Every structure is written in C-alpha cells, then in structure tokens.
Amino acid sequence: MKTLTGLVVSAALLLSGCRVANDVTVLKLAHGLDRTHPVHISMEHMAKLVHERSGGTMKIDIYPSGQLGTERECIELVQIGSLAMTKVSSSVMEGFAPAFKVYSLPYLFRDEQHRFAVLDGEIGQKLLLETEPFRIRGLVYMDAGSRSFYTKDKPITIPADLTGKKIRVQESTTSIRMVQALGGSPTPIAWGELYTALQQGVVDGAENNPPSFHLSRHYEVCKFYALNEHTAVPDVIIISTVVWNSLTEEERNILRQAAREAEELQKKIWKEATEEALRIVKEAGVQVSYPDRSVFAQKVAPLYEEYRSEPAVYQLIQQIRNFDEP
C-alpha cells in the first residue's frame, strides 16, 4: 500500500500543473491536436510571448496529440490543478456551465463577423468565467470555424439523407439533439477513436471543420464532405483556478495578454488552414459539396423553442441572435 501511495504522489508531482523550478514558473498545457494544427501553432506563439515578456521567469510546456490523456481526462487534471491548461470544445464545456450549450446550437451566428463580435464582447467574455465553480476558468477562445457533415457512402444534400445514418458527435447534449432533429442517429465517440470507428463501420460519418477533417486523415475513409456549416462551435483554452490563483497579478496579465495575441494569430492561420485543407481533400478524391443551408436551418429551428423552459439560456440565445456588431 505504501508503494502504491508513493507512486500516486510521484505521478501527482510529475504532472504538477504549475511548479516553480529555479525561480521559473512552469505551466503545463496539454491537448489532443496535431502539432501542425492552427491551435497548436498559436499555443506555441503564446508560450513564446509568455517566456519573453516574463524575462524567462515563466514557461509553458506544451504536450500535444493526447500525450497526457483524452480531452475529458485533461479537463479532470485541470480541475485538480495537476495540469495547468488544456484546449476543449465549447460543446464539452456545457457539461460544466449550462449556458455554454448555446454555442452548439445550429445556425446561431449570422456570419463570421457576428460570431467574433459576440465572443470578443461582453457576452462571450462573461461566459468564459461561468465554469469557475468547477475550478475551471476560460482564458481565451480559439476559432474552430464551421462544422459540416462528412460521410462514407453518399453525400448529405438534404436533412433526409441523414435518416438512419450513425453520425459521430461530441459529448454534448445539444449536438446530440441537433443530429436527432435532422433525422440522424448521434453517436458520441472520443476524437482519438474516430478514425478506427469510421473504418470499421461503427459510425457512417461525422461532422467537423475542414482543418480537423484533413489533419485527422478522416478523408481517407470518408469521401463525401457536405459544407452545410450547421454550427460554429469555438474552442476554449481553459486554465485551472488552482493554478490561476497561485499566479501573481503580473503573471496573470502576461498570460492573459499573450493568450489574446495568440487568439488573433490563430484566426489568421485558421483561415489559411481551411483553404489548404479543402484543396488537399479535393485532390485526394473527396467530393466537396455546398448544400442549401436554409433547408437544414429550417429543420432544426424547433430546437430553439425547446429552450423556452430554460429562461436564462433562452434569454442568452435572444441576446446573441439580436446582437449587432459594431
């Protein structure tokens, strides 16, 4: 028993989210994305800025590609302070703060400009802090573009094409209800297990943005990509409140500003990565189509009325839809 306890303590120390060594504050950041992903590149930029602006007294160590666990496991490590930061989808965040579910609603934003204005404004910034009771603090959003359906056997041109199709979704109640409303059969599967699930026919397709479709190599299995752009769910870099509270005000300001500058860089390289991803998958034989979005929007419209029974969430939905960007 003593040996087991020693191993647990050693593991906890090894994974310490914020440790001080030789007067250097080291923050561990883990995520499941590839090193070539725009979000990872932006995180590297953030780490560089933090190190430079702190005069070398702060350092961010980044562990990509699921090295320290799945998205869910990383969140749990962040909650106990064993990991300083991680990247999660807003869809996953709704499990901690119900208001986050609005981001998973289909066709919530009018366009990209509207989306950025909401996220960067009072509404979006307030939501980042709503998970603090769960020892999680949203630090900054990262653009994840628009999510669309990709399938193995035939293209999705109208909602009826989803009937009977098993579609992988994130662990999000809102995402599940959206696919159900469109006639599909939602199937939550961990991102790291999806390629094999597609290969083996566990699911018939999935939904995600072009860079993720490309970098995951899912296009090797799914040869139809229908850009109906049903949702635009932002990613969030979260930090443990245990770690955040251990930082000095100066360290917080350095980290906060570096994260915001990384966010702006990521928007730029995300757009470039999206164009590059579509070019590559087309060359690989993927049939990319552009179905009528209004048909899908009409089909999922009843979802919004279901939230009348949740006044706070329904009011937030109305605030976002009626928000006029400057």
Q: Would you give per-residue pLDDT tens digits along the chain (326 residues)?
A: 333 333 333 344 345 678 777 789 999 999 988 899 999 999 999 999 999 999 999 999 999 999 999 888 999 999 999 999 999 999 888 888 889 999 999 999 999 999 999 999 999 999 999 999 999 999 999 999 999 999 999 999 999 999 999 999 988 888 999 999 999 999 999 888 999 999 999 999 999 999 999 999 999 999 999 999 999 999 999 999 999 999 999 999 999 999 999 999 999 999 999 999 999 999 999 999 999 999 999 999 999 999 999 999 999 999 999 987 66
Cα separation, 173 vs 175, in Å, equals: 6
**pTM (predicted TM-score):** 0.86
Give the 3-state secondary structure of residue 152: coil
CA 100 centroid distance within chain: 12
Nearest residue to 39 (alpha-carbon basis) of 14, 73, 65, 10: 65
Cα separation, 142 vs 278, in Å, equals: 20
Cα separation, 86 vs 257, in Å, equals: 17
